């Protein structure tokens, strides 16, 4: 079993990395990360960075096996990140194959970075 410690996914207004990630659009649910086949993932930290001077709100959801987004999937809903500031969530979240992390923000100036390890 191989373990890779890494930046799992990043997204923001200027582009993104990670599997399935997209450029983040304000007020739109965006899939930040989907666990690859034959892989488990341990997310250690999620960083939320607001690069504008005004406060923004954000949401983070975890959808088991890519389920349709529903209220029970949110781990953060409507939290604020101050202007020109970051929120760092130390989370220790475990994900199985095909689980999806979905993010949402009120402004396109917010970016998300997810750190952890993939086990395959």
> Could you tell me the residue ranges of all domains in the chain?
3-119
Give the pairing of strands 110-119 and 3-12: antiparallel
Beta bridge partners of 89: 46
- Give me the CATH topology for the region 3-119: Jelly Rolls (2.60.120)
Residue 1: the pLDDT is 83
What pTM, to 2 d.p., does this model score?
A: 0.91
Sign of torsion, CA 17 62 91 6? negative
The stretches of the chain forming alpha helices (DSSP H) are none
**Are 27 and 38 a contacting pair, CB within 8 Å?**
no
Residue 44: the pLDDT is 97
Task: Give every residue of the chain whose pLDDT is below 70, as ranges.
Answer: 12-22
Q: pLDDT of 85-108, one tens digit each?
A: 999 999 999 999 999 999 999 998
């Amino acid at each position: 079993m191989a373990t890779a410690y890494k930046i799992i996914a990043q997204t923001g207004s200027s582009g993104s990395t990670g599997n399935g990630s997209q450029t983040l659009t304000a007020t739109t649910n965006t899939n930040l990360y989907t666990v690859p086949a034959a892989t488990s993932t341990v997310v250690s930290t999620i960083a939320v960075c607001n690069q504008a001077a005004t406060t923004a709100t954000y949401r983070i959801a975890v959808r088991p096996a890519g389920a349709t987004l529903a209220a029970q999937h949110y781990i953060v809903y409507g939290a604020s990140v101050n202007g020109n500031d970051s929120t760092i969530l130390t989370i220790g979240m475990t994900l199985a194959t095909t689980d999806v992390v979905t993010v949402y923000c009120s402004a396109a100036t917010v970016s998300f970075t997810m750190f952890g390890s993939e086990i395959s």
